[in-house]
Amino acid sequence: MPPNIPTLPATASAVNCWQCRHFATSWDPAMPYSCKLLGFKSKMLPCIQVKQADGRSCQGFDAKPAAAAAGARVSVSRQ
């Protein structure tokens, strides 16, 4: 894993933003991660931000489809 991709601490919940369909990276270097479901950008992974704010694991976690998570390529037809 590249050194610039943050990972969850061992004490974090089983929810992992990198595996969630609502997770996105942002163009904003000050707030590089975002949650499309909850509608916010953050300096840290949204699942960690939610855990700190609410004390519970993210309730909006929705796993990415298996094909996308396995690294399947999506073909795009260009016309």
Question: pLDDT tens digits, residue range 5-59?
Answer: 665 555 444 789 999 999 999 999 999 999 999 999 999 999 999 999 999 999 9
Locate the domains of the chain by residue range: 17-57
- List, in order, residues 6 or more apart from 53 with CB less than 8 Å away: none
pTM as predicted: 0.64
Q: Among 4, 7, 25, which residue's Cα sits nearest to residue 33? A: 25
